């Protein structure tokens, strides 16, 4: 069950509407780094959470609902950036924004104006659940595995790429209202990164959670190569040395080492093609 409040989670104000920036904000709504992604990811992780304690499920539901509020803020920002501008001004703004790309031999005006026209014709100067190129969000980047540790690592990655996008948007606008909204959202991304890492720490950190799933006995894996870094240079030259090539593994259950990659199997030989498979006669005999 959900409840709603007509007021926004944080103020959203636009001093100088910018249709080009409205298009960029669409990435934060429906892009793979966007708020719809994390909102749905946390909801589905929560709805499928199992275990003797419900605190992780409850925490995920709180944060998923917060992310829904972020979608609302961004949708409002898109609408405010589009609202006052007549069609002619929008076209001029689009043309100005892509002069550099035209100099490179491209013709992005069609893409830019197509997005602006969609905002006008399809949504009535409003946001829609798509990225900055108008590709609808399709849920293909929602990761909910049923494994709490795996989901937390996925969440850290999601919040990290989301914060990268938010900082790029922050640097792409001079509007004080938009910068103010984004500095709030960037702060929330900071917290959420820490939040998911805190869960991993509470579960035992790297030593307690890795390898995932920790419920599968490592005695059933090929432990000879469990902590090998496979060097794949054709000339046999050593790989770059780093934390991943020597010393104790992060789960403290092995030692990192370098293995010069080589064929461990045989050349595959497949059986003949089946009759009526559409293969050549020489393949069937």
**Three-state DSSP class for residue 216:** coil
Whether residue 276 is annotated as binding a ligand: the answer is no
Closest-CA residue to 120 (of 74, 85, 169): 85
Angle at 26 between CA 20 and CA 31, to 5 degrees: 135
Whether residue 67 is annotated as binding a ligand: the answer is yes
Closest-CA residue to 166 (of 176, 179, 175, 154): 179
Whether residue 15 is annotated as binding a ligand: the answer is no
Distance separating alpha carbons of residues 212 and 147, to the nearest angstrom = 8
Strand order in the sheet with 247-248: 228-231, 255-260, 247-248
Whether residue 70 is annotated as binding a ligand: the answer is yes
Whether residue 35 is annotated as binding a ligand: the answer is yes
Whether residue 159 is annotated as binding a ligand: the answer is yes
Q: Which residues of 19-41 are buried (b: 16+ CB within 10 A; e: fewer)?
A: bbbbbbbbbbbbbbbbbbbbbbb
**Three-state DSSP class for residue 153:** helix
Peptide linkage before 273 cis (omega within 30 of 0): no
Count CB atoms within 10 A of the CB of residue 149.
Answer: 20
**Using the 8-state DSSP alphabet, how is residue 42 labeled?**
H
Q: List binding-site positions.
A: 35, 58, 67, 70, 159, 192
Q: List binding-site positions for Mn(2+).
A: 35, 67, 70, 159, 192
Q: List binding-site positions for Ca(2+).
A: 58
């Amino acid at each position: 069950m959900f409840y709603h409040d007509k007021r926004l989670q944080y103020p959203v104000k636009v001093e100088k509407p910018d249709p080009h920036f409205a298009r960029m904000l669409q990435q934060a709504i429906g892009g793979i780094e966007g708020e719809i992604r994390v909102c749905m990811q946390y909801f589905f992780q929560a709805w499928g959470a199992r275990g003797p304690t419900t605190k992780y499920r409850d925490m995920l539901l709180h944060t998923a609902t917060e992310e829904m509020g972020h979608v609302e803020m961004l949708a409002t920002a898109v609408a405010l950036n589009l609202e006052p501008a007549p069609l002619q001004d929008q076209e001029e703004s689009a043309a100005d924004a892509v002069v550099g790309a035209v100099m490179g031999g491209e013709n992005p005006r069609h893409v830019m104006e197509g997005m602006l026209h969609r905002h006008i014709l399809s949504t009535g100067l409003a946001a829609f659940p798509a990225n900055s190129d108008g590709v609808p969000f399709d849920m293909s980047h929602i990761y909910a595995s049923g494994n709490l540790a795996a989901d937390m690592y996925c969440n850290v990655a999601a919040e990290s790429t989301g914060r990268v996008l938010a900082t790029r948007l922050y640097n792409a606008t001079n509007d004080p209202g938009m910068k103010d909204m984004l500095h709030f959202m960037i702060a929330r991304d900071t917290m959420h990164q820490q939040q998911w890492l805190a869960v991993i720490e509470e579960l035992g950190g790297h030593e307690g959670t890795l390898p995932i799933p920790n419920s599968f006995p490592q005695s059933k894996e090929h432990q000879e190569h469990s902590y090998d870094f496979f060097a794949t240079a054709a000339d046999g030259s050593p790989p770059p040395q780093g934390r991943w090539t020597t010393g104790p593994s992060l789960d403290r259950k092995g030692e990192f080492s370098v293995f010069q990659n080589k064929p461990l199997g045989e050349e595959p030989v497949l059986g003949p093609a089946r009759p009526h498979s559409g293969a050549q006669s020489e393949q069937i005999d």
